[in-house]
Structure 1
Amino acid sequence: MSSATTALIPELRTPVADAGTGYVKTGTAVPRVDGRDKVTGAARYAAEISADDLLHGVVVNSTVTRGRIVSFDTSAAMAQPGVVDVITYLNRPKMRSYDLFYKDMTAPAGAPFRPLYDEQIVSNGQPVALVVAGTFEAARHAAALVKVRYEITPHETGLLNYLSRPHKPQGLKAGFTPPPDEKGNAARAWQDADCKIDAQYFSGVEHHNPMELFASTVIRAADGHLTIYDKTQSSQNSRWYVSRVFGLSKAEVTVRNPYVGGAFGAGLRPQYQLPLAVMAAIKLRRSVRVVMTRQQMFTFGHRPETWQRVKLAASRDGVLRSIAHEAVAETSRFEDYVEVVVNWSGQLYACEHIRLAYQLVDLDQFTPMDMRAPGAAHGVHALEVAMDELSYEVGMDPLAFRLKNYAEINPVDGLPYSTKELRACYAQGAERFGWSRRPLAPRSRREGTEWVGWGMATGIWDAMQMFARASAVLHADGRLVVSSAATDIGTGTYTVMATIAAEELGLPLEHVAFQLGDSTLPVAPVEGGSSHVATVGSAVQGACEKLKKNLFKLARQLPDTPFDNARFADVEFAEGRIRLRREHGTGMALVELLKAAEVTRIEEKYLLLPNMLKQRKYTRAVHSAVFCEVRVDEEFGTVRVTRVVSAVAAGRIINTRTAASQVSGAVVWGISQALHEETHMDHALGRFMNHNLSEYHVAVNADIHDIDVLFVQEDDRIVSRLGAKGVGEIGIVGVAAAISNAIYHATGKRVRSTPMTPDKVMSAPVMSDEV
């Protein structure tokens, strides 16, 4: 790689497409530029960065759920060979005292957890000490020898045990919008309607289990500067947090995350290994690495346990008359974690009477956190299962029932949609799946010992855009380096941004490098909410457009230039050249242009600010239609999802390969949510018990069969200048509901809680009045 594409990260090379990739266009299937690095091991993650004289830290976790620490006995641990220190709240370095300093960029309202700050225990598994040694093995052994005495206070865990004491959320959180005021009179309309359902739904706790464990490697320089390699969804958020907690200046801390092995929301907030590694590095004046164990991955946030009640009513001809959706979710004692659970029920279907409510219950558990499609994954699930139930009450096909109540404008506020191709999702998804051949009655098809059922559901997610900066530098050798402090959590950010830049300048993809994952790069938002392409991608395109205008000015200044009387609109950048649109033979290579102008590099920067005055006039969303086939064994209650079609409308698709990968991966997780994932708590101990991958079940290869992803044509210039929306979350929304509805169609049994394990399927009664 030439010096022109050298990244700001000296220890790691910026991935660039293999030579021969050539000229690319957005909307095509471009291979990942970082794929080779990942499969060969050249890509290094937070726990793989080497440093001289590196120390290793292992966390000691609380074994009680609520109370206070009375004393430590660290003598046995300190006596072990290689152990350097045992850090507790009694001997840690100085930390800020005010809650404000612990609030990261995505923190909810309340007082954030402060690791090793004092003797208080607020949840089971919270860190109480850090053992630091010369090797990981020595630190792990010594950590098991640390003894902690506690004064225990009675705790309260389990949402269903405390549903009688909910409260409204106190304060807001990024991405959260409270439910709107009631429209009409939902209770009266429900009472007067011909057909109605009133059902309760429950979703259990899910924990993040990305392949990469949370880790932080803090490299301390001789001058005290800290370079931190962190598993995070925002290098700048982690840098912000560390600087404020420890009172360090921006110049004293650099955070890097060039590769992230999956995060799905778990990395939006800094996790506790980060401040623990930093405090050890500060105290011991050494480089330190702290890596969580798989069991410790269950000791911080999770998708919250949520109870929901949905009341729907319709006239006999299938017109919705009333929608009422309420939800109660868990949160911690110290923060009010919130997510959008019920608002989707006010957006998807036309209705004159809508009431939505969302409340929380404080428990002695760690603050929940965003997990792929937070709120929507279980909020839309309840709505879509309820819609399926009501379709049988009115005697309509579930798809026809949804089309009957299709919303042309947002029902709760009357705003138009920026774009909405949900009808096309329904039509194309149904055609691909063969929905027209579906019999209406449940228990209509049996093969051997299995009942076969078809179900469908709608998906919706916000189409978000935030603010970001990007820089673009064209070097004399024709190499383009584009930069932003974005994050690639496996979604294909490296590839998509490089593709946007390559197409904009008309360069081969292998001549373009996109730098990300460094807090010193131009500001980028936290990678979350499926907003990176619409946000950072638009900034990249903006920077490249400014670069093109600069190059055009240079071209016009040359002697005997063919561009003397041309306007910018008259030229195009293609095949490494600037040329007249109507005379492709008239132009010059960009390398020749820079040489003739005696310029070694040209740099432009761009600030992307969403046009909120324009955007706020529209409802901006991504939509999908999910169709699935299940086979249910009557004797064992086991469910196999044998076929899924997901039709998605997400604006312009920049890379069909990475976008389809995102959706199919989300469908896999939707299957896992529907049938497998739940963390069980022993409420006597207040502790999650199946905190490992042998007992916390996730979907595996044997559980996954045919997944067909299709994108309908859509171009949304309200959401982004690229016309693109995000696809990371939409793929999971509606999957669990479609599976639930297919189980009902197969068996006549309605299961209203997730995961829908064999015991629930077997014990659910056949609803013979609907069969």
Structure 2
Amino acid sequence: MTQTSNPQTFSSTGRDTFVGSPRSRIDGPAKVTGLAKYAGEFAAPGLAYGYVVSSSIAKGRITAIESAEAEAVPGVLKVITHANRPRTAWRDKNFQDAVAPPGSPFRALYDDLIVFSGQPVALVVAEDFETARYAASLVRVSYAMQEPVTDLKAVRGDAYDPPTKREGIKPPPAPWGDADQAFGSAPIRVQGGYSMANEHHNPMEPHATTVVVEQDGTYTVYDKIQGVSNSHQYLVNVFGLKPDQVRVLNPYLGGGFGSGLRPQYQAFLAMLAAQELKRSVRVTLTRDQMWSFTYRGEALQTVALGAEPDGTLTTLRHDAVQGTSTFEDYQEVIVNWSGVLYRCENVALTYRIAKLDTATPGDMRAPGAVTGVFAIETAMDELAYATGQDPIALRLKNYAESDATAQGKPFGSKELKSCFRQGAERFGWAKRNPEPRSMREGRELVGWGVATGIWESMMMQSSAIATLTPDGRLTVGNSTGDIGTGTYTILTQIAADTLGLPMDAVTTKLGDTRLPEAPVAGGSWTAASSGTAVMKACRNVGEQVFKLARGLENSPLANVDFDRAVFADGRISVAGDPGRSVSLVEVMQAAGIDKVEAVEQAGPDKDFNQKYEAYTHSAIFVEVKVDEELGQVRVTRVVSAIAAGKVLNPKTARSQILGGVVMGIGSALEEESMLDHRIGRFMNHNLGEYHVPVNADIYDIDVIFVEEEDKANPLGVKGLGEIGIVGTAAAITNAVFHATGKRVRDLPITIDKLL
């Protein structure tokens, strides 16, 4: 495993002692001992509990709700429905959150209209959870049902171009060349339809919100969210509150994968009940109810590739239709990746959406890329066989040195060739017999497959605070969350290096709206965004302390410029003359001040972004073994070679890639949210029937970090949260074809598709 060393971009005032080294997660002990508290675990005096009653139909209207029996249960405080709900700010714009797609956001208990299965139709609030749950079973709801439309194939012909583009989502570029004409005249042609089933996020921690009513009338809200600022904005707008009346916290998140980007309906219901009852309320969703909102939406794709006999692409067409709800125009980047990955003179990329009677889909780890890259990378494998090319050689023959979807801008860095080279060597790709069904081990067929991965390298506007106290302790933080990625740890490493302190002298605080604002934790931008902000805030503190040190009587730093200052071992010394030094504690105590503090902002480099495009790349190599008689597929080996700029912490970084690969295995072989189109309901809405990879499914996963220098941000980092999953499903699909000779274009690859 290698990592980039790039001291020019990491603008530390000290030495890279911790950044770049493998460090265990500082939040680990709290999590494994149970000391870490999650949104549904915070206590409050007089806490009441809400239980959601979910609709049993997917489309229609409520004709009656009978709640008297539930209200008669001892301990029940209130049954809230659309008929008796408190008045609040119901306008659409007030319900918008920071990552909402265009349209009219869902408003729980707004009226009698049912727009998706499992929609909340009532909230039972009681003195304890068990009473609320029991009373909820006594609420009787009558409906006038309409036939739902949930089959994307049935409405494919009604798909449309989104009239309003979703913020941050690039629409497909205008076509170039003449893809249809070039395909018709191409000597070699590959064309196919590809699909990936609906998938649900299924984080370990269910969605929950605890609203604490404080004595001064303000609200402290513990919400399962990947960015507390988003929940804060949402609750303040919806309920017409002043910003300082609401404080939202989420110090720990038990998995989100994108399901926690938007405030979900339990947050609204908890605040609604708290305001109505004037007491603290907690609402926790059941595992079944976790199927009633955001999920990775199915997309129907077609890819058409034309090539010369030597494998040179002459035409590329990638079209996708994705489902959305009837009330929002959800959008992802699905087809653009094909135009970014490969050099071709005739390209057409289209993306349309179609209305379904479901909840709005949502961003799920590497949204769009997981779906679109599966299609193009499977098609490229088909083209490799059609032209007799090695799959790696074919990709290198059509390697893109610039981004054709962005007017041909060059990449700021791209070490994808090194990913293929190092990954192939580690995997032993040269020993591969390309003929399908040619490799065998006992009764199992052996297959080797490869695919490319790609994800945007982004940086968002972020801020952070750093505070140094006379005891030599440093506290840093902002409102972003650690969603299990190791953010607490890498920010501590950055802060410690910047001021030359040991890591145990640094405290990092996250997930609190009283801290400086930062974007939601998603998109693989947190390290670049919050990491740079923390570094800048610490550097500002360092400059302040340095000035104080220079002003001391007989200061060893007198007449020394800041650019010669070295922060290490809790001291400030002079570069090249370590004997001239003073400790941070001595400076603070001599100055007689109780703290040195700084708040700094960091944002994307506009000059860089005007000149370059930034992406993280990977090459994924997979070995599968398929029982010839049973059709059972085992992924026995994976090598994932990642080019992601500077790696801040190889240990937590590797963990991110491992998690992404495991989710990719799930997409390829197991995960499928099954809709019964007659009633519009997901039927396998539990962890017993919705299959995800478990320990017995996972064998050897090898991660390589390829050296890459990038200057898109001062830290030289690229995101790692998404890249591990992108392309993994395609590599598995390609390996299964190599093993069996059967090309499966519709995921997951279940046994029936191979027998």
Report if TM-score (shorter chain) is over 0.5: yes
Q: 1:341 aligns with which of 334, 340, 354?
A: 334
Deviation, 1:153, is: 2.3
Deviation, 1:616, is: 2.8
Structure 1 position 38 matched with structure 2 position 31 = yes
Deviation, 1:24, is: 4.1
| Superimposed CA distance per residue, residues 320-348 of structure 1 (whole angstroms, 9 cap, x where no aligned partner) | 11110000000000000000000000100
Deviation, 1:23, is: 9.2
Aligned position for 2:129? 136
Structure 1 position 683 matched with structure 2 position 677 = yes
- State the one-letter code of the partner of 2:194: Y
Equivalent pairs, count = 740
Residues 534-553 of structure 1 mapped to structure 2, 5 A cutoff? 534-553=528-547
1:48 counterpart SS class: coil
Aligned position for 1:611? 605
Structure 1 position 466 matched with structure 2 position 460 = yes
Aligned position for 2:745? 752
User: 8 Å contact 1:664–1:731 — kept in the other structure?
Assistant: yes
Q: 2:551 aligns with which of 548, 553, 557?
A: 557
Deviation, 1:411, is: 2.7
| Superimposed CA distance per residue, residues 332-382 of structure 1 (whole angstroms, 9 cap, x where no aligned partner) | 000000000000001001111111000001011100000000000010000
Structure 1 position 114 matched with structure 2 position 110 = no
| Superimposed CA distance per residue, residues 6-49 of structure 1 (whole angstroms, 9 cap, x where no aligned partner) | xxxxxxxxxxxxxxxx9942111011111100011110101110
2:412 counterpart SS class: coil
User: 8 Å contact 1:23–1:507 — kept in the other structure?
Assistant: no
Residues 217-228 of structure 1 mapped to structure 2, 5 A cutoff? 217-228=210-221
- State the one-letter code of the partner of 2:556: P
Aligned position for 1:601? 595
* d(CA) in 2 for partners of 1:590, 1:500: 18
Aligned position for 1:13? none
Q: 2:438 aligns with which of 429, 439, 444?
A: 444
For structure 1, which runs of at least 5 residues remain unmatched after alignment? 1-21, 763-771
Aligned position for 2:705? 711
User: 8 Å contact 2:556–2:582 — kept in the other structure?
Assistant: no
Aligned position for 2:89? 96
Aligned position for 1:574? 568
Deviation, 1:600, is: 1.9
1:725 counterpart SS class: coil
Q: 1:312 aligns with which of 305, 321, 330?
A: 305
Residues 627-706 of structure 1 mapped to structure 2, 5 A cutoff? 627-706=621-700
Aligned position for 1:281? 274
| Superimposed CA distance per residue, residues 462-521 of structure 1 (whole angstroms, 9 cap, x where no aligned partner) | 001110111111000000001211100100110010110001100000000111110111
Structure 1 position 411 matched with structure 2 position 404 = yes
- State the one-letter code of the partner of 1:52: P
Q: 1:326 aligns with which of 297, 319, 324?
A: 319
Residues 376-391 of structure 1 mapped to structure 2, 5 A cutoff? 376-391=369-384
* d(CA) in 2 for partners of 1:60, 1:749: 45
1:142 counterpart SS class: helix
Structure 1 position 359 matched with structure 2 position 352 = yes
In the superposition, the TM-score normalised over structure 1's length comes to 0.95
Aligned position for 2:518? 524
| Superimposed CA distance per residue, residues 69-119 of structure 1 (whole angstroms, 9 cap, x where no aligned partner) | 111100111111211110111222222121100000000000000011111
Q: 1:232 aligns with which of 221, 225, 231?
A: 225
* d(CA) in 2 for partners of 1:492, 1:637: 38
Deviation, 1:613, is: 3.6
* d(CA) in 2 for partners of 1:23, 1:226: 42
* d(CA) in 1 for partners of 2:302, 2:206: 36
Aligned position for 1:767? none
| Superimposed CA distance per residue, residues 250-288 of structure 1 (whole angstroms, 9 cap, x where no aligned partner) | 111110000000001000000010000100000001111
Deviation, 1:57, is: 0.5
Does 613-622 or 514-523 show the bigger shift? 613-622
2:154 counterpart SS class: helix
Deviation, 1:583, is: 1.3
Residues 489-508 of structure 1 mapped to structure 2, 5 A cutoff? 489-508=483-502
* d(CA) in 1 for partners of 2:462, 2:350: 34
RMSD: 1.1
1:290 counterpart SS class: strand
Q: 1:64 aligns with which of 57, 61, 64?
A: 57
Aligned position for 1:12? none
1:605 counterpart SS class: strand
Residues 229-308 of structure 1 mapped to structure 2, 5 A cutoff? 229-308=222-301
* d(CA) in 2 for partners of 1:348, 1:515: 39
User: 8 Å contact 2:226–2:483 — kept in the other structure?
Assistant: yes
User: 8 Å contact 2:413–2:708 — kept in the other structure?
Assistant: yes
* d(CA) in 1 for partners of 2:17, 2:387: 51
* d(CA) in 2 for partners of 1:596, 1:38: 40
* d(CA) in 2 for partners of 1:660, 1:609: 26
2:229 counterpart SS class: helix
Aligned position for 1:166? 159
* d(CA) in 2 for partners of 1:141, 1:199: 51
Aligned position for 1:427? 421
Aligned position for 1:185? 178
| Superimposed CA distance per residue, residues 691-724 of structure 1 (whole angstroms, 9 cap, x where no aligned partner) | 0011001111110000001101112112x11000
Residues 585-596 of structure 1 mapped to structure 2, 5 A cutoff? 585-596=579-590
Aligned position for 1:768? none
* d(CA) in 2 for partners of 1:508, 1:690: 49
* d(CA) in 2 for partners of 1:195, 1:221: 70
| Superimposed CA distance per residue, residues 199-221 of structure 1 (whole angstroms, 9 cap, x where no aligned partner) | 00011100010000000011111
| Superimposed CA distance per residue, residues 238-259 of structure 1 (whole angstroms, 9 cap, x where no aligned partner) | 0110111111111111100000
* d(CA) in 2 for partners of 1:152, 1:239: 36
User: 8 Å contact 1:95–1:245 — kept in the other structure?
Assistant: yes
* d(CA) in 2 for partners of 1:95, 1:699: 43
2:410 counterpart SS class: coil
2:201 counterpart SS class: coil
Aligned position for 1:477? 471
User: 8 Å contact 2:155–2:354 — kept in the other structure?
Assistant: yes
| Superimposed CA distance per residue, residues 546-602 of structure 1 (whole angstroms, 9 cap, x where no aligned partner) | 111111111111121122221111111001100011011220111011112222210
What percentage of aligned pairs have identical amino acids?
Answer: 52
